[in-house]
Amino acid sequence: MSMSVVTALVRNLITVPAAVLRSHMAKDAEVLALRHENAVLRRQIARVRYEPADRIWLAVLSGLVPRERWRQVFAVTPTTLLAWHRQLVAGKWTFTSRRRPGRPRTAPTIRQLILRLAQENSSWGHRRIQGELARLGHPIAPSTVWQILQDAGIDPAPQRSGPTWRQFLKAQAHGILAADFLHLDTISLQRLYALVFIEHGTRRAHLAGVTAHPTAQWTAQQARNLTMTLGCRMDSLRFLLRDRDTKYTRTFDAVFKADDVEILLSPPRAPRANAICERVVGTLRREVLDRILIYNEAHAVAVMTQYIRHYNRHRPHQSRQQLPPDRPESPAPVTVTDLQTHGIRRRSVLGGLINEYHHAA
């Protein structure tokens, strides 16, 4: 109850003792005057607006006045008075102290886990997710899981899209070979094109060739040379990821299909679909091509071949626990050496453009 309602009720209650102490004649005269004033107001006002305190006060007084007199005493109908009285009774008997709380809300950590399971497993429906939660010690109703997924805008399992490119590439990394062209300009402003391949599983890069005129026949021949270089490693490859460049013809694809390698085409203008190969191209530019002047094709082949040898044998890779591609994935633990007794030797690559460091023998 607000402070204004309480104030109005107190003001009305103060007038009760004064009315009781008056004489009967004075009270009768006052009642007649109030009735006449009430009749005059009824003729002038179509509808009277009552505050909450006025409704409570009239509802309380209605218990002291006989019901057959309500129509003459009060400016509202008996039905309205009864409705006000019911509201007064309902406000008193709310049973707030004995009310039990409803079902508690799902913990935010459980909601995050449900959304994580749905995002990481596109084929799982709400019942499969509910079963996994129960196995992890978090029993929850399937309908609750469904509602959380619905609120997050996640469609049911059969209607969800397939795995993203990132999920697909990660799951198939050891069987994917990616190809891409990069261009570079010589000191005489002649544009050259280099064809680069990379194995997703090991991050091992391969330079297929460099030319100023990358025709479809030249590209197909570089593919043949690469398959001969890889040799038995071709047996572990299942996919070739490439873009839709016109230099990749049916002859180019046939070279890999002969080794049961399926061709995957990235969407148009979607370099992120071939992100690993694009990353290698960016590394080549940042670490070598943007820091050295290229004279001709032979010079470009020599520079890139030397860098790719460094890239495969020495350069650490974050995705392989700081190991180069030619190192095994589970090497022996590195022994901590004393730098005062074991020195570090530097080996220059590309005339000091890149340095490699080894323990002195």
In order of 76, 134, 271, the CA distances from 116 in angstroms are 61, 15, 27
* 44, 230, 239, 337 from 254: Cα distances, Å: 99, 16, 13, 52
For the chain, the domain total comes to 3
Q: Are 144 and 181 contained in the same domain?
A: no
Residues 145 and 31 in one domain: no
Is residue 184 included in any domain, yes or no? yes
User: Of how many residues is the chain composed?
Assistant: 361
64: containing domain: 3-92
At CA 272, angle to CA 165 and CA 322, rounded to 5? Answer: 90
Task: Assess if residue 99 is contained within a domain.
Answer: no
Question: Does 34 reside within a domain?
Answer: yes
Residues 189 and 278 in one domain: yes
Q: Are residues 88 and 126 in the same domain?
A: no
Q: What is the pLDDT along the chain (361 residues), one digit of tens a residue?
A: 565 655 655 555 555 555 555 556 666 666 666 666 666 666 666 666 777 777 677 677 777 777 777 666 766 666 776 776 677 677 766 655 555 666 678 888 888 888 888 887 777 888 888 888 888 888 888 888 888 888 888 877 665 656 666 666 667 778 889 999 999 999 999 999 999 999 988 889 999 999 999 999 999 999 999 999 988 888 888 999 999 999 999 999 999 999 999 999 998 888 888 888 999 999 999 989 998 999 999 999 999 999 999 999 888 887 777 788 887 766 555 565 666 667 777 788 888 888 877 777 6
Residue 263: partners with Cβ closer than 8 Å, 6 or more residues away: 239, 240, 242, 253, 256, 257
Please tell me whether residues 9 and 67 are part of one structural domain: yes
Q: Are residues 178 and 137 in the same domain?
A: no
For 280, list phi and psi in degrees, rounded to 5.
Answer: -65, -40
Q: Looking at the structure, do residues 251 and 186 belong to the same domain, yes or no? A: yes
Q: Are residues 182 and 151 in the same domain?
A: no
Q: Distance from CA of residue 68 to its chain's centroid?
A: 69
- Judge if 214 and 236 occupy the same domain: yes
Helices 126-135 and 108-120, interaxial angle, to 10°? 120
Cβ neighbours of residue 202 under 8 Å, at least 6 residues apart?
A: 320, 325, 326
Q: Which phi and psi angles does 323 have, rounded to 5°? A: -110, 145
- Do residues 215 and 247 both lie within one domain? yes
CATH number of the domain that 224 lies in?
3.30.420.10
What number of helices (H) and strands (E) belong to the chain? 13, 7
Question: Do 133 and 255 have their domain in common?
Answer: no
Please indicate, yes or no, if residue 345 is contained in any of the structural domains.
no
Contact between 207 and 200 under an 8 Å Cβ cutoff? The reply is no
* Residue at 343 is within a domain: no
- Listing DSSP states for 231-263 in one string gives GGGGGG--EEEE---TTS-HHHHHHHHTTTPEE
Do 188 and 309 lie in a common domain?
A: yes
